[in-house]
Amino acid sequence: MGASKAAHPWADNAAMNQLDALKQFTTVVADTGDFKQLAQFQPRDATTNPSLILKAVQKPEYAPLLQATVDRWRGRPMDEVIDRLLVRFGCEILATIPGRVSTEVDARLSFDTSATVTRAERIIELYQAEGVHIDRVLIKIAATWEGIQAAQQLERRGIHTNLTLLFSFCQAVACGQAKVQLISPFVGRIYDWYKKQAGASWDEAARAGENDPGVQSVTQIYQYYKRFGIATEVMGASFRNVGQITALAGCDLLTIAPDLLAQLAASDAPVARRLDAEAARMLDLRKIELDEPAFRYALNEDAMATEKLAEGIRAFAVDAVKLEQLIHAA
């Protein structure tokens, strides 16, 4: 899916800012829990995660929302109060955007398939109790083997998923096999790892644009999916600069933080389509099938993906604990 395709990959967008030009090729998604920022950028969808919600609830303007949620559900189990807070933010976001919101399952369940399924089902039930249609919510789950299996079960039940913390091609292949709705490959965190590894030898100019390792990862996944007719949507995520975003123009979706959305809106530099589904369908690629041992070995062989997946789960778990502490104090 994604935005309608322009007649020519270099469509006339001279009169547009970069954000509007990007929307010709790609569905733009806002990566924030700060729903008061959304309207100015007019994204179709929005994504959240524990870190973004934690950041939002510490702002003075959101203190009443946090307090009201805690007061209403005080005495309930902490995991339920957390989910109710996430859903409250999600409902506020959905009141501002026309599309979908992504809400994340607790990262501490990333290696527990059944617990992830149970938690996801409760989040959906909480949304439905607020009158939100199931198709307007994506359940975010870490792309571990266990998380991917949970997503497969949820998709079969009509609950759509967004597989996050995705850094490797093998994760994307397994997600495609599981027929998940959407994946979020993390461009910026891949870039961070390779830049840190290179140290003083890193050449920023030489590794920019289509040569950026994060951009290359998303491009490989996008081309593979389109070549083999895999319906899973590809949503590039975790950007460090505008160049990474414009290098992926044409990707199904791109989820972008408000500061980078503002930079795109303030620039009138041209934006060209870089990823094209029709061109990808003509590529000579090999279809891959992964069972659990093959998946685990392929992930193990990718030092960057192994390290960033573990690091990402740890970081989200830390922020989940901080959110619990804020709720205790409220």
**Per the structure block, which two tokens stand in for 200?**
């003083």
Using alpha carbons, list the distances in angstroms from residue 93 to 27, 48, 53, 103: 17, 10, 12, 11
Find where tokens 């965190």 sit.
Answer: 189
The contacts of residue 150 (CB under 8 Å, 6+ apart) are 113, 114, 116, 117, 120, 141
φ/ψ (deg, to 5) at 165: 50, 50
Q: Is 59 a catalytic residue?
A: no
Strand partners, 113: none
Catalytic residue among 23, 36, 59, 140: 140
b or e along 181-191 (b: 16 or more beta carbons within 10 Å of the residue's beta carbon)?
Answer: bbbbbbbbbbb
Which are the catalytic amino acids?
A: 140
